[in-house]
């Protein structure tokens, strides 16, 4: 469902300059209130396609339930983040990362390859 919704909503992913721009369009990056040298990031912006953002976050929440049993680099990263910042923030961070991976796959017209363990 998420893949078809992403294709339907985004269309040509090359319209975004980067994965972060796609994530911002989806509302998965922190809103920023900055001035001068002070940077303040406050929650996710919640702009963009609400349905697609919801699908990505629910998919990430589903993944969070199983990361404790896995030892690949992404699972270890999510597990540490979950312990440090909490489940909801980890879910949004994973959804953000997944959206960026999808952008990379769509712009390069490649299939997903699991990264090699470090």
pLDDT of residue 41: 65
Higher pLDDT, 51 or 38: 51
pLDDT digits (tens, 9 = 90+) for 22-35: 888 888 877 666 67
Distance CA 27, CA 92 (A): 10
Per the CB < 8 A criterion, the answer to whether 42 and 33 are in contact is yes
Which residues, including other chains, have CB under 8 Å from residue 73's CB and lie 6 or more apart? Answer: 115, 117, 118
59-110 per-position pLDDT tens digit? 999 989 888 888 888 888 999 999 999 898 899 999 999 888 888 888 887 7
**Nearest Cα to 81, choosing from 100, 59, 64, 98?**
64
pLDDT band at 50 (very low <50, low <70, confident <90, very high): confident
Token reading at 23: 């994530």
């Amino acid at each position: 469902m998420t893949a078809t919704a992403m294709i339907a909503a985004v269309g040509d992913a090359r319209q975004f300059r980067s994965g972060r721009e796609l994530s911002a369009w989806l509302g998965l990056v922190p809103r920023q209130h900055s001035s001068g040298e002070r940077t303040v990031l406050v929650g996710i912006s919640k702009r963009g396609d609400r349905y697609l953002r919801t699908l990505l976050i629910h998919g990430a929440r589903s993944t969070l339930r199983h990361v404790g049993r896995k030892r690949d680099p992404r699972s270890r990263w999510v597990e540490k983040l979950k312990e440090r910042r909490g489940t909801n923030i980890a879910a949004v961070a994973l959804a953000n990362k997944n959206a960026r991976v999808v952008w990379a796959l769509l712009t390069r017209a490649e299939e997903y390859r699991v990264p090699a363990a470090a």
